[in-house]
A = this chain, B = another copy of it.
Amino acid sequence: MAQVRCQIIAIGNELLLGDVQDTNTYWLCQQLTGLGGKVIRCFIVGDDPEEIGWAVKEGLSRDVTLIITTGGLGPTADDITLQAIARALELPLEENEEALRMIESRYQALYQAGYIQDPSITPPRRKMALFPKGGKPLFNPVGTAPAMLLEYKGSYIVSLPGVPEEMKGIFQSSLVPFLKELFGQAFYESITVSLECGDESSIAEVVEKVARLHPGVYVKSKARAFGKKVRLRVTLAASGADPEEVTRAIGKALSYLEEEMASRGIKVSKEL
């Protein structure tokens, strides 16, 4: 089974200004890879409806099945992700009843816990219930803005908040079961080994050979600092429907790597 192609779009002027580091993309790459998906490309764009719309349409037009956006769901005027998606896909933007009830329940809970003085649904709070038609709200157990899952012409667009705790909370509570079904029974495994040698260029040939002879296995060496006893890391990874086959493919590639390195007097170690 082919892996489901995914694209991530992180949204926020503060990311482009270097004011805040986007850590959501890294976390999502790990999660999607671990669940068996294939992240094809990631974007950071500003709080700009044209840029957001462009990034979403770019993904849909280039054979991506799942687009995840982070950021821009909050109550302030520069939180425009859902409006931008509605405009780009020419869907009406309308108040989502279920989203509004989620928002009400979250502000009630915050009020009852004594965190806020007034639980009433002011216009900025109500704004968070404006969804593109067809969008399904996902409950936010951490913050107040519901996330969204939208099916569009056979693809899926998921919009998550930018605050990492909220993003992770919704992903884990509402998205994991959906993604497991979407990705099918895919398994991903990786192993990283280390070896000592002078520099990356001296083992480039071997790494290339392992990759060429084991096309189902992803092989990557990582350069570290130079030094007399420098360690290089090599990662071998594979995914597929059958977990035993995945393990076997990685094992074969690793044995080959070990033999080739041994013939050059280099020991491959599982210690990093």
Binding site for B on A (CB under 8 A): 13-23, 25-34, 39-46, 51, 55, 74-78, 110, 114-118, 122-125, 143-144, 163, 165, 190, 198-202, 204-205, 207-208, 211, 218, 220-228, 230, 235, 237
Contact = CB atoms under 8 A, between A and B. Distances in A.
A199 B143 CA distance: 10
Given A16-B39, A42-B44, 16 more contacts: A14-B222, A14-B235, A16-B42, A19-B235, A74-B200, A76-B200, A78-B220, A110-B226, A114-B228, A115-B227, A116-B199, A116-B226, A122-B201, A143-B226, A144-B199, A165-B225
A41 B42 contact: no
Contacts of A218: 13, 17
Given A74-B223, A226-B110, A201 B43 contact: no
A17 to B, nearest CB: 5
A120 B44 CA distance: 41
Contact of A198 (B17, B117, B163, B200): B117
Contacts of A125: 201
B40 A25 contact: no
Contacts of A118: 198, 202
A198 B51 contact: no
Contacts of A144: 199, 201
15 contacts: A16-B33, A16-B39, A16-B41, A17-B33, A18-B26, A18-B31, A18-B39, A19-B237, A40-B46, A74-B200, A78-B211, A110-B198, A115-B226, A115-B227, A124-B205
A20 B13 CA distance: 24
A45 B42 CA distance: 7
A16 B30 CA distance: 8
Contacts of A211: 77-78
Majority-rule SS of A interface residues: mixed
Nearest to A6: B16
- When all copies of this chain in the complex are counted, the total is 2
A44 B42 CA distance: 5
Contacts of A204: 74-77, 124
A19 B15 CA distance: 21
Nearest to A51: B41
A41 B43 contact: yes
B44 A199 contact: no
A213 to B, nearest CB: 13
Contacts of A237: 17, 19
